[in-house]
Structure 1
């Protein structure tokens, strides 16, 4: 596990700095205690990291569950009852894993997965622009288009340009220059710059500039809402007191089970989609065992719920950052969880000096790498059958949320499949009979013919002119819907009125009760 530590260690530090504000922000967006986000991050890194078969995936609290969590806490009436629902959701995920339900990940087409990655990349960019400008009214976890404070993605950006902070803009600009220069020039010059990643330098620069602002050396300042906000325990016992046990007496409440089931299904779906996307981003193209991943996520949610944490999933933002900055094995995910634990216990004061503008610059680069303009051109060149599900997923994610965007992309993907099925249920070969000079229409059915193909088959048969012969060829067919057989049977009866001779090849009469 430690053979790639020279790559995994710097990547884990980057993921740690990316995950920290996300853990806090998602907790805020969920209406949960701030520390619950940190617990979920620690569990996602250490527990899920050890149990998972994913080499590059990173788990933690997911923004896609924030609204569900917020609603569930209100409906259940207490935080401790909600924690029980998290534990039960983990148990359900374990059952799904042992039931080998991970195969559902393979039903999502390439175009939708690419759209998900691109949509998340654009979403990251749009959501980080306000932080880069110093407008930090919203939390890092507020990833939906319509936000809980009444604003939306674009109004936040517009407001940010009107009330930007000079100090935050300066940090953002310098950070972006360093990251771009590091990625395009320095990293190619010496191995030292591969070991010490640009985001680490950016975070250290942000802390240093914040200190210079506070000391008056530079005549700028950052507000309390423009830096990381981590709870600071006054002692080890104070640290332990931040953990909360679930209310097991609520196990007989039907609402708890309903919330648990919804969270288990959505968390599993988000995880499986992120697994698929992460595997596609993996330079070595390794394949994650999905059933094992469901078990790992189930274990993670059980532990997180027992300790007082938010539900966890594999998260593409952290996973893509891990890949983008050199992670090679799951050690990087485990280390990032350890760093979250250590930081929460020891250096919370120092971490609270990190400007959100520094983290925004890092995430802007991550977002760009996911949504490069060349990708849109590539998907367009693959044709509308690939481009339409891709672009609809992107727009859906930007306009609504992650799950709705994926659902919209899947709708267009399924529509394409049905469209192909509609047009590929048969093919026609026309020949001239040498004996009678009669035109023969050879109508060959496909292997699979469903009721959806009724219209196209009926239209094709009705176009056959009178005084001819039609051969309906079943030799390739393995499955045909009863409705289609009825159409062929009716056509055979009516064909006599048009002087059409019907011949069937390899037709097997269906057995009826």
Structure 2
């Protein structure tokens, strides 16, 4: 026993050592990846934080870095703990930051126009940035909670392209403002020639080098490597130029020193506590906040999908939206900017050896330590390197969407991209996005309007109801089938497709030499909605039918479409409406047969006269001697499913319905049989049980021919039996002819 215990212990020890080694290795990988992610997050915070405070806010550029660091810390921590993917790294992103810079610049302009002090201007901008984060977080959390995240995928692709191309322009314009302090215009381009070469040479080298290195198959560590090289290059050039760090800071090549004091609920410089907040200026730019929110939601969708595909992890888009929402609410309450899941940083985290959420948590805490220990460290970061980063991001987006998208889009779709870019450049972000959405809607209307909304056209000869008619009645319906003109509609109906329906009906009603149409049928079973303009088209359609002496019949209207037509009064124009196409066709067939008057349509019609065209007088007399009369009240079953097939029935008057019982107790009507038709013959000929229920729909009289009586007729009077079998063959052939015509019309 001791040896067994000892052996068991010796066998378990290596396994425990392996597990401990794996845990230590995983911990080391997480800490290493977290350290790398920390450096990258600091680089992004320096570049994107500075991007917010450009143009009129350039003198406060150093305040953007702590704002971005707050976002890095909070969003990275919250998303690392709540994301559906273990290796997610979050933080500020260039797409949302570019629009956030527009919000900040717009708020600053409004405050300046209101005569606000510099303290009021800066405090209002900081509050606007924080409020934008909170509102974005609320919207994102709402999208995730409502489980509507995937609906964002339906944003028109060209609009996304124009939006990103406009983002690229904003980045380039921001780089120009940082260098010159002016907006990019033809008359301000000359300011570039007055810059010290240290201001533009590193920026140009960084922008071009990063663009080249990240083209094609981008290496995940390319951007951090270029940032390190850019900082080193700047200080080498600074030394070669014989300038000190103070000289560089006085020339605007480095961020200035600003001591920050932290309040419990908002991070601002102490003198700003005395400034007022210009709330009207913030309210005036709330629509631009929605653009930031839209950019964030779209980028989260694309980044999360790309991360999941690259890492093989299952993603929950709704959970990602909720995580980003919570992160931005917390970031905004602490004075941070908008941030969310980053594809580049998450992939770098994975490549650096991360195995769990610990890497993201460690990166967030390391950034917090850097901010708390040495907030002025960011003042040593060169402004030209930040400008180079903006040039890189702007050039990448411009190249991707102005040139790369041309091969992926049709010419009319691609035209939206430079069009939106031009509007953004001249009139701003909001105008550009609105113009793009309007153009996409117009394009959709024009293109979709060319797609036929008619799934199938039919008449009474090619499409019949489920009511089985006598051979003579079926022949009459085929002969007069052109009196019915029907259209089975599909898709979403709007003014473009509604006008095409109107034009198609007009051409049929006014066709020279064609049989006059008495019934126009529109079936909505395959439609999924309509807009208000359709009601106007249907008023015109009803007037057109009335002028031609035709009745307008609408079938299978969806509830919302019917409500829309009812509100507009369209259904009050003597339009016939039925729940199904089958019900509408049955009503039309009854009306057509009533107008024919070939056979009497009353309850007193002569049964013998109905069968006379198919039998000789002796054979008909012999057959009638074999028949048993049975009268049914409405709802009384003729026979039920599972009963033996011991007889067939010829309907004299009234109507019986073939129904299939369902497991929930409901009955589905398959077909109805009217006067002159035969029902129940298949079970007799195949000698099987009944496959469905047959129930009288109204007071009905049938004539029963039992199987023994049929066999006796075949034995005693073969001629009469032969004529009866021929009558049944004609009846079945008429059914097959109707089915064949319907099949031909469908295909």
TM-score under structure 1 length normalisation: 0.71
Aligned length: 474
1:59 equivalent in structure 2? 92
Contact 1:322 1:332 in 2 (8 A): no
How far is 1:41 from its partner?
0.9
Select the structure that is richer in strand.
2
DSSP-derived class of the 1:197 partner: helix
1:220-272 Cα distance to aligned partner (Å, 9 max, x none): x96734413143439999xx88257879998xx98488469657545433422
User: Which of 470, 488, 499 does residue 455 from structure 1 map onto?
Assistant: 499
**Alpha carbons of structure 1 residues 324 and 69: separation in structure 2 relative to 1, 3 Å:** farther
Q: Among residues 171, 179, 186, which one is paired with 1:136 in the alignment?
A: 179
From 516, 520, 527, the counterpart of 1:477 = 527
- 1:296: which partner in 2? 327
SS class of match (2:415):
helix
Residue among 365, 374, 380 paired with 1:346: 374
Tell whether the 8 Å contact from 2:231 to 2:385 is kept in structure 1 after alignment.
Answer: yes
Secondary structure, in 3 states, of the residue corresponding to 1:463?
helix
Conserved 8 A contact 1:121-1:368: yes
What are the residue-to-residue correspondences of 1:222-237 with 2, within 5 Å? 224-233=250-259
Q: Identify the match of residue 297 of structure 2 among 237, 253, 272.
A: 272
Query: Measured at CA, do residues 178 and 262 of structure 1 come closer, stay the same or move farther in structure 2, by a change above 3 Å?
Result: closer
Preserved contact between residue 255 and residue 382 of structure 2 (Cα < 8 Å): no
Provide the C-alpha distance between the structure 2 equivalents of 1:194 and 1:88, rounded to a whole number of angstroms: 34
Q: Shift of the alpha carbon at 1:114?
A: 2.7
Equivalent residue for 2:157? 110
Distance in 2, Cα, partners of 1:94 & 1:374: 28
Matched position secondary structure for 1:472: strand
Aligned to 2:438: 411
**Residues 137 and 225 in structure 1, CA contact (< 8 A), matched pair in contact too:** no
How many angstroms does 1:369 deviate by? 3.4
Q: Secondary structure at the match of 2:526?
A: coil
Describe the SS at the equivalent of 1:233. Answer: coil
Deviations 1:18-54 (A, max 9, x none): 4325424523546595554233212211112323449
Instruction: Say which SS state the counterpart of residue 382 (structure 1) adopts.
Output: coil
Match of residue 166, structure 2, among 119, 132, 136: 119
The correspondence of residues 79-228 of structure 1 with structure 2, limited to 5 A, is 92-93=135-136, 95-96=138-139, 97-98=141-142, 100=145, 103=149, 105-106=152-153, 108-125=155-172, 127-128=174-175, 130=176, 136-138=179-181, 149=182, 151-160=183-192, 162-172=193-203, 174-175=205-206, 179=210, 197-214=225-242, 224-228=250-254
SS in 2 for 1:477: strand
**8 Å CA contact retained: 1:473, 1:505:** yes
User: Could you give the per-residue CA deviations for residues 412-432 of structure 1, whole angstroms, max 9, x where no partner exists?
Assistant: 222222224433462276789
Unaligned 5+ runs, structure 2: 1-25, 462-477, 573-747
Q: Is the 8 A contact 2:168 2:394 kept in 1?
A: yes
Q: What's 1:23 paired with?
A: 49
TM-aligned CA distance change 1:268 to 1:81, over 3 Å:
same
Distance 2:218 2:129 in 1: 43
Residue 69 of structure 1: aligned partner: 107
Asked if structure 2 preserves the Cα contact closer than 8 Å seen for 1:179 and 1:198, the reply is: yes
TM-aligned CA deviation for residue 206 of structure 1? 1.4
Q: CA deviation at 1:212?
A: 3.1
| Structure-2 residue corresponding to 1:146 | none
**Equivalent of residue 539 in structure 2, options 452, 471, 486:** 486
**Counterpart position of 2:309:** 284
| Offset, 1:335 | 4.0
C-alpha distance in 2 between matches for 1:248 and 1:226: 26
> C-alpha distance in 2, partners of 1:177/1:94?
35
Name the CA shift for 1:270/1:340 in 2 (closer, same or farther; >3 Å): farther
Deviations 1:166-191 (A, max 9, x none): 34454346546764776689998xx9
Partners of 2:261 and 2:333 lie apart in 1 by: 27
Matched position secondary structure for 1:445: strand
Indicate how the Cα distance of structure 1 residues 385 and 361 shifts in structure 2: closer, same or farther if over 3 A, else same: same
Deviations 1:118-139 (A, max 9, x none): 33235434654x58xxx8222x
Contact 2:206 2:230 in 1 (8 A): yes
Q: Does 1:387 align with 2:414?
A: yes
- Hey, what's the Cα distance between the residues in 2 that align with 1:47 and 1:476? 49
In terms of mean alpha carbon deviation, does 328-337 or 116-125 score higher? 328-337
Where 2:255 maps in the other structure, the secondary structure is: coil
Residue 294 to residue 374, structure 1, CA distance change in 2 (3 Å): closer
Other-structure match for 1:145:
none
Q: What's the CA shift string for 1:358-404, capped at 9, x where partnerless? A: 33334433334334358735445432453233343333333343333
Deviations for 1:302-356, whole angstroms, at most 9, x for unmatched residues? 210xxxx6xx22489xx5774797787996798489548736853736x545443
- SS state of the match for residue 42, structure 1? helix
TM-score by length of 2: 0.51
Aligned alpha-carbon RMSD (Å): 5.0
